[in-house]
Structure 1
Amino acid sequence: MHFDWTFLVRVSALVLPAMLLVALHGAAHAATPGAPTAFEKLASKRIFFGHQSVGGNILDGVKQLGPSAQGVPPRVVELVTPTESLAPGTIAHAMVGQNEKPETKIADFERLMDAGLAKSTDVAFFKFCYIDFNAATDTRALFEKYRVAMEGLKARHPRTTFVHVTVPLTTVQRGAKAWLKELLGKPVWGVAENVKRESFNQLLRQAYGGGKEPLFDLARLESTTAEGTPETYELNGQSWPAMVPAYSDDGGHLNAVGQARVAKEFLGFLATLPEPQAQPPIPAVQATP
């Protein structure tokens, strides 16, 4: 059998230079410095978070994160006055409003922003608590108050990125006690309340989700296991989300497991927000001739 060495030489002349180019490109790509980590992105941001107890749980999880390959996590500080200056790489926080009175949280957040806090923050948001919602809550009326307030804040403070947060959920009562309550026609803990919370959250997702505006979906995170399995219950033939029991010791607040899971996602979300806008230079005052 005669082997065509001329053909092999011609193929080698074409293939070897191409392989060399691929190798050089790969080496150059490998030498390119990596993208900034989440913590590095947060180092330039000044963030304010208004909350009550579950928000405190989330920040407790953030505080547990020490320096790592990601870098140094942002500092968590309590806000003293709305006029204080915040340093980059800081998450400032404060209790806003009163539990069970969600309208007071909207008003308090507006007050803080308008009193000077918007001038020293790049990102600002607050969250309602699960206890703000009960079986009688008018979710559409509350959402409309929230929407109008946020539109006003965005118009008055265009250099601040305002974030929306879904309402946290609770676990639902299950087992023999829940069955007995249902039999007696008594309310089962968490069932009707989570329906109201999820109804409000659906309004948030419709208005701000899908990339329209920044939305941190705390409820979806709380109602999904680390393996991606949703925690749900049935009511009148419809499925509703509930908090994963492993994330809480009392059915509403985040335990150490829940704090760790939410805190990681929380910081990752904040790191995706746009970089702070550069402030325009102040024009020099012209001397009067």
Structure 2
Amino acid sequence: MTRRRKLWLTAVAGVVAIGLAGAYLVRPASSVVRQEAYQVPTATGSQLERAASLKIFFAHQSVGRNMIEAVPAVYAAAGIQPPEIIASDQAQLASSHGYIQHVLVGRNGDPLGKINEFDRLIRSGIGSQVDVAALKLCYVDFRSGDDTERVFEAYSNTLAALQRDFPSVTFLAITVPLTTEQGILGRTKERLGLGDPYGPQHNVTRETFNAKIRAEYADTGRLFDIAAMQSTSSDGIRLVRTFAGAEYFSMEEASAKDPGHLNSTGSALATSAFLRTIAGAAAASAQ
């Protein structure tokens, strides 16, 4: 065999090997099994006015910041004066007007610490001054293999205890946000054993927690389902995906600024839905 022919055969074998390896690395790690219709709730003008009259405490991290930043735009679009936005973990002076007080609570990756910190803040004086309070955990608080049952028990038990001790406050529950479906780079990293912070296995864990939250609070009128909003397309469709035999949802690209955060469109949708939930829950509590 001539040297040129050997080189040619070696090159062909290399191309085939690279092609097979590439096909393996980028093959889908998950699949869509069905679609579900979902209507993202949005606040009416009267609901926005109701929310603006309330004293609201919102404990969160970065996705919550996306929502807070969208409050002025949501109110401006409706031609309504927005509530005052206060960034503080201290009890506010007595006020006759409504506001949204918010704080970056705890440390990302430590959901139990966030829950304990929320409990402490409410009991340190904030609970005696606000009408509505909510704690939103973050997508980074839930990774594949985490104990969702333990976190759910701590979350639900804390809300129940706070509701018992502060009956004049309406405590809301919130599902945990999602990340977008992993792309080729993420799948490649996962196949190579380098890990993927946005892989579907993490959204599976988040869905396990969110299913518990929905089962506990969906019928109370006190649930803000941010995960459902994030995973719904502009035409009102949620894609149900499956990974390793488990069903889950992921954030729609149209709502995403990056794999884990909301863009201006997603932020406005989430904020409007949040304010609608607040107004409805507060009105029901007042009856």
Distance 1:59-1:77 versus aligned 2 partners, 3 A rule:
same
- For residues 143-195 of structure 1, give each alpha carbon's deviation from its aligned partner in whole angstroms, at most 9, with x where no partner exists: 111122112111111110100000000012133x4554565566553311111
For residues 116 and 147 of structure 2, what CA distance do their matches in structure 1 show? Answer: 18
Which of 267-276 and 95-104 deviates more?
267-276
From 205, 212, 221, give the equivalent of 1:196: 205
Does 1:62 find its partner at 2:83? no
2:143 and 2:205 in contact (8 A); partners too: yes
Aligned counterpart, 1:220: 228
2:152 and 2:209 in contact (8 A); partners too: yes
From 163, 170, 185, give the equivalent of 1:161: 170
Helix, strand or coil at the partner of 2:58? strand
| Structure 1 residues 2-81: aligned runs within 5 Å | 37-67=46-76, 69=78, 71-81=80-90
Helix, strand or coil at the partner of 1:65? helix
Aligned counterpart, 1:7: none
For residues 89 and 156 of structure 2, what CA distance do their matches in structure 1 show? Answer: 27
Deviation at 1:37, TM superposition (A): 1.3
- For residues 76-96 of structure 1, give each alpha carbon's deviation from its aligned partner in whole angstroms, at most 9, with x where no partner exists: 221251253354321111111
Percent pairwise identity: 36
1:103 and 1:142 in contact (8 A); partners too: yes
User: What letter is aligned with 1:274?
Assistant: A
2:230 and 2:255 in contact (8 A); partners too: yes
For residues 238 and 203 of structure 1, what CA distance do their matches in structure 2 show? Answer: 15
Aligned counterpart, 1:138: 147
User: What letter is aligned with 2:280?
Assistant: T
From 241, 247, 252, give the equivalent of 1:233: 241
User: What letter is aligned with 2:159?
Assistant: M
For residues 152 and 274 of structure 2, what CA distance do their matches in structure 1 show? Answer: 23
Aligned counterpart, 1:260: 268
Does 1:126 find its partner at 2:135? yes
Does 1:269 find its partner at 2:249? no
1:223 and 1:232 in contact (8 A); partners too: no
- TM-score, length-scaled by structure 2: 0.77
- For residues 14-33 of structure 1, give each alpha carbon's deviation from its aligned partner in whole angstroms, at most 9, with x where no partner exists: xxxxxxxxxxxxxxxxxxxx
For residues 276 and 237 of structure 1, what CA distance do their matches in structure 2 show? Answer: 40
Deviation at 1:42, TM superposition (A): 1.9
- TM-score, length-scaled by structure 1: 0.76
In the alignment of these two chains, the number of paired residues is 242
- Structure with the bigger percentage of strand: 2
Distance 1:101-1:191 versus aligned 2 partners, 3 A rule:
same
Helix, strand or coil at the partner of 1:163? strand
For residues 114 and 222 of structure 1, what CA distance do their matches in structure 2 show? Answer: 32
Aligned counterpart, 2:126: 117
Point out which structure has higher relative CO (alpha carbons under 8 A, 6+ apart): 2
For residues 159 and 138 of structure 2, what CA distance do their matches in structure 1 show? Answer: 18
For residues 95 and 87 of structure 2, what CA distance do their matches in structure 1 show? Answer: 11
Which runs of 5 or more structure 1 residues have no equivalent in the other structure?
Answer: 1-34, 279-289
- For residues 20-79 of structure 1, give each alpha carbon's deviation from its aligned partner in whole angstroms, at most 9, with x where no partner exists: xxxxxxxxxxxxxxx971222123311110011110001111122344555223222212
1:46 and 1:87 in contact (8 A); partners too: no
Distance 1:43-1:59 versus aligned 2 partners, 3 A rule:
closer
Helix, strand or coil at the partner of 1:92? strand
Does 1:250 find its partner at 2:255? no
Which runs of 5 or more structure 2 residues have no equivalent in the other structure?
Answer: 1-43
Aligned counterpart, 2:182: 173
Distance 1:158-1:258 versus aligned 2 partners, 3 A rule:
same
2:221 and 2:281 in contact (8 A); partners too: no
